[in-house]
């Protein structure tokens, strides 16, 4: 890849990584970020002036995936009997 494409691709990885922090679409954008990161790293031959953006984008994409999975697990636990309190009375524990 020539240097301009590497820089543009690195900035795209960073942009996708930032967008992957949104909980609703974070999983898909996080996966796209990591795929684009891997493709850019494989095709990069020379010094990349946007290397920091490329690396930060990959970390943000990974954080977006983890954040989305964490939200899904918390929502699952909140809806399951394990996530509810043991008293089935009023909200304050009294009958």
pLDDT digits (tens, 9 = 90+) for 47-73: 889 999 999 999 999 999 999 999 989
Residue 28: inside a domain: yes
Mean pLDDT of 30-43: 93
> Torsions phi, psi of 26, nearest 5?
-65, -35
Q: pLDDT tier at 91 (50, 70, 90 boundaries)?
A: low
Domain contains 93: no
Return all residues near 48 (Cβ < 8 A) that are at least 6 apart.
3, 6, 7, 10, 54
Decide if 92 is inside a domain: no
DSSP 92: T
In a domain, 70, yes or no: yes
The residue segments making up the domain with residue 73 are: 3-77
In a domain, 86, yes or no: no
Count of domains for the chain: 1
User: Quick one: pLDDT band at residue 3, thresholds 50, 70, 90?
Assistant: confident
What predicted TM-score, i.e. pTM, was given to this entire model? 0.77
């Amino acid at each position: 890849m020539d240097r301009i494409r590497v820089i543009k691709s690195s900035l795209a990885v960073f942009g996708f990584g930032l967008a992957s922090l949104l909980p609703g679409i974070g999983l898909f954008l996080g996966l796209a970020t990591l795929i684009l990161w891997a493709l850019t790293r494989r095709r990069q031959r020379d010094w990349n002036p946007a290397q920091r953006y490329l690396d930060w984008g990959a970390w943000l994409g990974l954080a977006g995936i983890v954040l989305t999975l964490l939200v899904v697990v918390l929502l699952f636990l909140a809806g399951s009997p394990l996530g509810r309190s043991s008293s089935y009375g009023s909200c304050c524990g009294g009958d």
